[in-house]
């Protein structure tokens, strides 16, 4: 997979109204900092990042805001001086410039610039954690991102899986499979929620998983069984693809 564009990283910022900018700036600085070869420049980058993080942690503080602005401006001036004297200089400002982007609040641009340096996985974990979403399945979101899903898709599925983590293991397995396949949406979750309240034996749960896999022959057999038991309405719903009828079919078909 190639480097992700800035607009790809921007999807994380749109996914949460509780995005922890302080955590992101600190984390990005820690990831990029070791790649800054010049010790004095690396130290100044660290000082600027620390001041900005302190401000982001307490944005109402005028004193911290001023300290953050001064430190960030000082770093920019330092980079400009190095660039002006760059003839024959072995000092690279590229890595420090990445942190400067983050200090200015350009988080998506900073991530896009940092990815070739530190790799996508570390940055993805940083952004996903910075979302600060409640009942959010971070490992699943990261797994989906590694599988090629967009931040929007991965965060949505991770949020849904975290919200319904109390579901029985057989149903969580199905939801996970659908999330990885990119077919998990709100409508499916609502339907599966009906199955979550059904108390199924291991045999019934296995049958439910097979029915949810879309096996047409098995669905037809289960529908015929329901009709034989007098459950014609449930049989019709099952044939129409009603996920909510699966638990009923599994429970009655295995009797």
In sequence order, which residues have a C-beta less than 8 Å from that of residue 143 and are 6 or more positions away?
A: 180
Comparing 191 with 230, the larger pLDDT belongs to: 230
Nearest to 7 by CA among 151, 186, 184: 151
> What is the tens place of the pLDDT at every residue in 67-100?
999 999 999 999 999 888 766 556 788 999 999 9
The token pair that represents 1 in the structure block: 């997979």
Distance of CA 33 to CAs 38, 93, 117, 147, Å? 10, 12, 11, 28
How many C-beta atoms lie closer than 10 Å to residue 63's C-beta?
10
The token pair that represents 41 in the structure block: 């420049």
In sequence order, which residues have a C-beta less than 8 Å from that of residue 129 and are 6 or more positions away?
A: 20, 23, 27, 138
> What is the tens place of the pLDDT at every residue in 113-152?
999 999 999 999 999 999 999 989 999 999 999 999 999 9
Q: Is residue 147 helix, strand or coil?
A: coil
């Amino acid at each position: 997979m190639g480097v992700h564009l800035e607009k790809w990283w921007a999807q994380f910022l749109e996914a949460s109204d509780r995005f922890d900018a302080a955590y992101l700036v600190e984390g990005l600085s820690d990831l990029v900092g070791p790649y800054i070869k010049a010790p004095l420049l690396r130290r100044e980058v660290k000082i600027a990042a620390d001041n900005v993080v302190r401000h982001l942690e307490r944005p109402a503080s005028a004193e911290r805001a001023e300290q953050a602005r001064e430190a960030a401006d000082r770093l920019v001036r330092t980079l400009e001086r190095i660039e002006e004297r760059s003839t024959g200089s072995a000092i690279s400002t590229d890595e420090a410039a990445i942190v400067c982007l983050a200090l200015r609040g350009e988080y998506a641009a900073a991530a896009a610039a940092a990815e070739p340096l530190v790799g996508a996985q570390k940055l993805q974990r940083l952004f996903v954690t910075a979302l600060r979403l409640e009942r959010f399945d971070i490992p699943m979101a990261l797994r989906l991102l590694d599988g090629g899903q967009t931040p929007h898709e991965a965060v949505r599925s991770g949020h849904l899986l975290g919200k319904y983590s109390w579901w029985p293991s057989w149903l969580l397995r199905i939801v996970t499979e659908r999330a990885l396949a990119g077919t998990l949406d709100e409508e499916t979750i609502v339907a599966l929620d009906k199955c979550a309240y059904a108390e199924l034996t291991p045999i019934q749960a296995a049958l439910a998983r097979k029915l949810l896999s879309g096996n047409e022959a098995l669905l037809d057999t289960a529908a015929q069984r329901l009709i034989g038991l007098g459950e014609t309405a449930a049989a019709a719903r099952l044939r129409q693809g009603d996920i909510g009828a699966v638990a009923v079919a599994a429970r009655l078909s295995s009797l």
